[in-house]
Amino acid sequence: MIASHLLAYYFTELHHDHVQRVSMLQQPGYQRLHGISTSSGRWMNKFALVLFAETGDFLALDLGGTNFRVLLVRVSSNGKQKVEMENQIYAIPENIMRGSGTELFDHIAECLANFLEKLGIKDKKLPLGFTFSFPCQQTKLDESFLVSWTKGFKASGVEGRDVVGLLRKAIKKRGDFDIDIVAVINDTVGTMMTCGYDDHHCEIGLIVGTGTNACYMEEMRHLELVDGDEGRMCVNMEWGAFGDDGALDDIRTEFDREIDAGSLNPGKQLFEKMISGMYMGELVRLILVKMAKDGLLFQGHTTPDLLTTGHFQTSFVSAIENKNSEGLLRAEQVLRGLGLDSSPEDCVAVQRVCQIVSTRAAHLSHLCAAALAAVLRQIRDNKATERLRTTVGVDGSVYKNHPQFARRLNKMVRLLVPDCDVRFLRSEDGSGKGAAMVTAVAYRLAKQHAERQRILDSLRLDRDQLLEVKRRMEEEMKRGLAEKAHTTAAVKMLPTFVRATPDGTERGDFLALDLGGTNFRVLLVRVRSGKRRSVEMHNKIYTIPQDITQGTGEELFDHIVHCIADFLEYMGMKGASLPLGFTFSFPCHQTRLDQGILIKWTKGFKASGCEGEDVATLLKDAIHRSEEFELDVVAVVNDTVGTMMTCGYEDPQCEVGLIVGTGTNACYMEEMSNVELVDGDEGRMCVNMEWGAFGDRGELDDVCTEFDRAVDDQSTYPGKQRYEKMISGMYLGEIVRNVLLDFTAKGLLFRGKLSERLKTRGIFETKFLSQIESDRLALRQVRSILQHLGLTSSTCDDSILVKEVCSVVSKRAAQLCGAGLAAVVDKIRLNRDLEKLSITVGVDGTLYKLHPHFASIMRETLRDLAPDCEVTLVQSEDGSGKGAALITAVACRLRDARK
């Protein structure tokens, strides 16, 4: 009668719409469980379920209940990995569980010290994986902030804090041992990793024990709280909190509500409180109290022990429910321990209550199955497969010890998701082994990360290094200007004989030729004076094939003249004779404005018979050979000078020109008294610095890396233009390529697999840096660039690292450029004996214009290193060709005035 009463009373509550609830969890659009793990899921562990050749000793700490384990896990390899474990179980007294966080972590540290001492390894600094089985928010693998205590823990001062930090602090306070905490994981993740070691199909971890929880491998594209959309990440669902929003209210009984009300966290972890082992004994106790008060047991008597929460342990349930005399004997012993005078009928009734509660837990496996089925459907849909084959790693005392729970759970899962072939694999070694596995891989990844950062740090410059670069640039500028030191100076400081800027009276039509790379422009520039002062331009771009850049000087200049003839015909000016300004962006020695003796080729040019010759004469000779037109070559100018003049036409304060494109160079207005190579000391003259050669005398050796040296060794002119090779667009992509080659050779990138295309010099174009570093560019698009380079199996992490390499290389380039420019503007300020200088710099070049961060980093560096100079950077929109035409116009005006 008592048993029938209980069954009727209890299962009326339990089965209310139960089947409907299970099917409801499977209906399309029912997202309560999905919401825990994706939209509102906050607890994530990023980890690849891949073990390579990890070997060594690893510690693991498994904390998730009143007992916790410390483990030493030895991973060895003789062709096949072998895992050996030693462990010790330690208790956490209730007063520590509910005391202060300091006491808790001090206790854990003490137990850890005891374990290390017993094994004689206290003097070793071993990597440790920390299984911490409570809801935590993770931002990285070795940092985990406790969201809320569960499972009866209530240590103060821990919620909201990093538990790894608290453990490190406790260990440091002791000072008698040291460990390297590499990873913190949830027990579900540890279980998945433990089972995944033996079964690579395992992508779900499930715990049904003191508490309950699950984790699974989710697609990165669904995790909006984490950057990146490639690959997968393990998501710790914390599904014990399912129902906290009222989703389970209609199947919770009065006993469930009473358990919740008497718990340390009322209203929280409601799903867990219905399923997990921690609450099964308490459920029996509440039923016995109610039956006693109703006069159905113990002659209506209760005792203080029976009325005390937690005094009927879950372990009692399993022992008493056995349908034999041992179960009844155990019931009598337990009741006597609670101070109850029980009759044989009482013992039978208590045994039946335990059986009913245990059966209820087994029936609740249906609810657990429904939740698990939702996860399986999510994985199946992610993979877009008709049939999913997967393994669920399972641990926990309820799953392992309850006589019916596992069988019913397995059966119900297969019923709910018939299109999933699911294997349930019991974790025999617990989540501690999984933590050690995670630690082993994480330790390898951490060492790889440290090696990557060590390499990248060689490409990073601090403020002191940049200040030293600035100082050395200032010294080289002085050497280049001095007559005695000029021949040995790296920075040649070449006089340009440009002494004046436009005054507004210039007028006429002028041709300009802008040669500085594999593309060049021919321009017609119409200058108008008076009230409607204006500059009108027409231009056409031509290419110079590589065989001509590497051929003879005659072939090069004949090609240029052929393009000029084509342009004049295009403009309907065939046979016209116009003054011409020649922007020739290579190092030249000038003794007058209309002459430029080429010192050396740069930027990949190698046309023979040009070095040491006047390029204006070479151009005139080619024009005479063509016999198609005549031109008056009035001025030979550098592109930096042309840029300065172009910007100076609009802004009279512009006295510096800067190019950061295929190559890099600068010019500025220097005091004639400092230009020792030219007679006279009145006024100013524009000096073409040819600063790309800075470093050719060893000035940059201490900031050059092995990658810079590799690029230099493979260049057309090894040992020359060292500064340019660290800054300009022609070389940055090649520096990045060499870093990627080194990373791959060391197994730090692309899984150590190199593509043939990446071995090709020049294949990693500098434009890729601008594209990869664009804030708008998703990592998926970075990966498409890598695929273009033959790296078809690159991962999201590869893309992130490639982006970091690009960022480091381009940042260094911008900082070096900023340091050089700081030397220039500070020299101008000191020349003029000013406390503060206000000046404009005209800038041109594809790297400066197109790279998303170069300009801002250079500006920030300049501001830091030259704080007494207020510098305005103006981008040249019309290029240096317009400047060459303006210089020609000024020269013609001055020439006409002399006549």
The verdict on 297 and 232 lying in the same domain is yes
Known catalytic membership, residue 585: yes
CB 171 within 8 A of CB 102: no
Q: In which band, very low, low, confident or very high, does the pLDDT at 788 lie, cut at 50, 70 and 90?
A: confident
163 and 228, same domain (yes or no): no
Please report, for the domain that includes residue 117, its CATH number: 3.30.420.40
Number of Cβ within 10 Å of residue 23's Cβ equals: 12
Residue 833, judged by CB atoms within 10 A of its CB (0-12, 13-18, 19+), counts as exposed
Which residues are 669's β-sheet partners?
686
Angle subtended by helix axes 796-831 and 854-865, to nearest 10? 40
Residue 299 maps to a domain: yes
Shared domain for 320 and 224, answered yes or no, is yes
Same domain, 417 and 278: yes
In a domain, 3, yes or no: no
Q: Between 38 and 249, whose confidence is greater?
A: 249
Which residue in the list 472, 521, 684, 829 is annotated as catalytic?
Answer: 521
Confidence of residue 81 (pLDDT cuts 50, 70, 90): low
Nearest by Cα to 134 from 244, 292, 269? 269
Residue 393 within any structural domain of the chain: yes
Enumerate the H helices of 338-429 as residue ranges. 344-383, 397-401, 405-416
639 flagged as catalytic = yes
Per residue in 315-360, pLDDT (tens digit) is: 888 788 877 778 899 999 999 999 998 899 999 999 999 888 877 7
In sequence order, the 6+-apart residues with CB closer than 8 A to the CB of 317 are 280, 281, 284, 354, 357, 358
- Residues 208, 129 share a domain: no
Specify whether 149 is located in the same domain as 235. Answer: no
| 378 in the same domain as 274 | yes
Average pLDDT over residues 99-105: 95
pLDDT, mean of residues 128-157:
87
Residue 827 in contact with residue 474, Cβ under 8 Å? Answer: yes
Q: How confident is the model at residue 39 (pLDDT cuts 50, 70, 90)?
A: very low
Residue 164 domain flag: yes
Most confident of 186-200, 530-544, 588-602: 588-602
Evaluated on CA atoms 311, 314, 316, 321, the torsion sign reads positive
Q: Left (φ > 0), alpha (ψ -120 to 50) or beta: where does 810 sit?
A: alpha
Tell me what percent of the residues of the chain surpass a pLDDT of 90: 48
β-pair partners for 519: 543
Confidence of residue 281 (pLDDT cuts 50, 70, 90): confident
Residue 899 has pLDDT above 80, yes or no: no
> Which residue matches tokens 């007058």?
592
Do 173 and 87 have their domain in common? yes
Look at residue 568 in the predicted model and tell me its pLDDT: 92
The pLDDT of residue 529? 77
> Can you count the helices (H) and strands (E) in the chain?
30, 26
Closest CA relative to residue 151, chosen from 308, 264, 271: 264
Q: Residue 11 has what pLDDT?
A: 31
pLDDT at 681: 87
Spatial neighbors of 653 by CB under 8 A, at least 6 apart, are 838, 839, 840, 872
Give the DSSP H or E segment for 335: helix 325-337
Give the integer Cα–Cα distance in Å for 821 and 862: 7
Number of compact structural domains in the chain: 2
What 3-state class would DSSP assign to 542? strand
Cα distance between residue 734 and residue 604, in whole Å:
14
Q: Are residues 437 and 348 in the same domain?
A: no
Parallel/antiparallel/unpaired status of strands 202-208 and 388-395: parallel
Does residue 532 carry a pLDDT above 90? no
Per-residue pLDDT tens digits for 478-487: 999 999 999 9
Residue from 106, 639, 712, 844 carrying the catalytic annotation = 639
Name residue 508's beta-bridge partners: 527
> What band does 184 get if pLDDT is binned at 50, 70 and 90?
confident
| Secondary structure (DSSP) of 9-59 | HHHHHHTTTHHHHHHHHHSTT--HHHHHHTTS---EE-------S--EEEE
The candidate with the shortest Cα–Cα distance to 3, out of 237, 353, 317, is: 353
The active-site residue out of 37, 276, 318, 585 is 585
DSSP state of 309: T
* pLDDT level of residue 80 (50, 70, 90 thresholds): low
Give the pLDDT confidence score for residue 10 in this predicted structure: 31
* Domain extent for 336: 203-427
**Does a structural domain hold residue 292?**
yes
pLDDT digits (tens, 9 = 90+) for 431-470: 777 777 778 877 887 888 889 999 999 999 999 999 999 9
Indicate the helix (H) or strand (E) that contains 797. Answer: helix 796-831
* Strand boundaries in 398-471, DSSP class E: 420-426
Co-location of 373 and 435 in the same domain: no
Q: Which of 449, 480, 502 is the last residue of a domain?
A: 449
Identify the residue whose tokens are 């690959």.
Answer: 231
**Please, which pLDDT band fits residue 367 given cuts at 50, 70 and 90?**
confident
Q: Please give the pLDDT value at position 763.
A: 93
What is the three-class DSSP state of 341?
coil
Residues 67 and 179 in one domain: yes
For residue 598, tell me if it sits in a domain: no
Q: Are residues 261 and 388 in the same domain?
A: yes
Cα-based distances in Å from 877 to 481, 502, 541, 577, 650: 31, 18, 16, 27, 11
Q: What is the mean pLDDT of residues 615-631?
A: 91
Domain boundary among 417, 449, 481: 449
Q: According to the model, what pLDDT value does residue 44 have? A: 34
Flag whether 472 is in a domain: no
What's the whole-number average pLDDT of the chain? Answer: 86
- Let me know: does 211 contact 131? Beta carbons within 8 Å: no
Beta strands at 654-660 and 837-844: parallel, antiparallel or unpaired: parallel
CATH number of the domain at 321, please.
3.40.367.20
Residue 862 lies inside a defined structural domain of this protein? no
Which of 35-39, 125-129, 601-605, 834-838 comes out lowest in average pLDDT? 35-39
